[in-house]
Amino acid sequence: MNKTLTRADLAEAIYSKVGISKVESSDIVDQIFEEMILELIDGKSVKLSSFGSFMVRNKKQRIGRNPKTKEEAVIDARRVVVFRASKELKNKVINE
């Protein structure tokens, strides 16, 4: 079974490689994610070189269909976060 990488894992990696305290490394991880979230809330994109980009897209209202009942329903307009992997990330994942 594949293990999922968590915030705690990232903080542990910073702690072991940089040598700062576990509390400080956890705070760094939290601050990075908080900054990314604030940028996305403002509608800006977040680009991490050699990794990928997070963007907010506005989806229009549309008609959808319930797959069980086949009944049509209105899907409201909404904002969604999308991720686009960089070429470098794609190549590393494919070739490993």
54 and 45 in contact (C-beta within 8 Å)? yes
Model pLDDT, residue 71: 93
Interval 5-57: pLDDT, tens: 999 999 999 999 998 999 999 999 999 999 999 999 999 999 999 999 999 99
Domains of the chain: 1-44 (no CATH), 45-96 (4.10.520.10)
Q: Pick from 60, 40, 52: which is nearest to 89 by CA?
A: 52
CA distance 24 to 20: 6
Average pLDDT, stretch 73-93?
Answer: 95
| Dihedral Cα 46, 10, 88, 58, nearest 10 deg | -30
Query: pTM of the predicted model, to two decimals?
Result: 0.79
Tokens representing 88 are 């470098």
- 2 confidence band (pLDDT: 50, 70, 90): confident
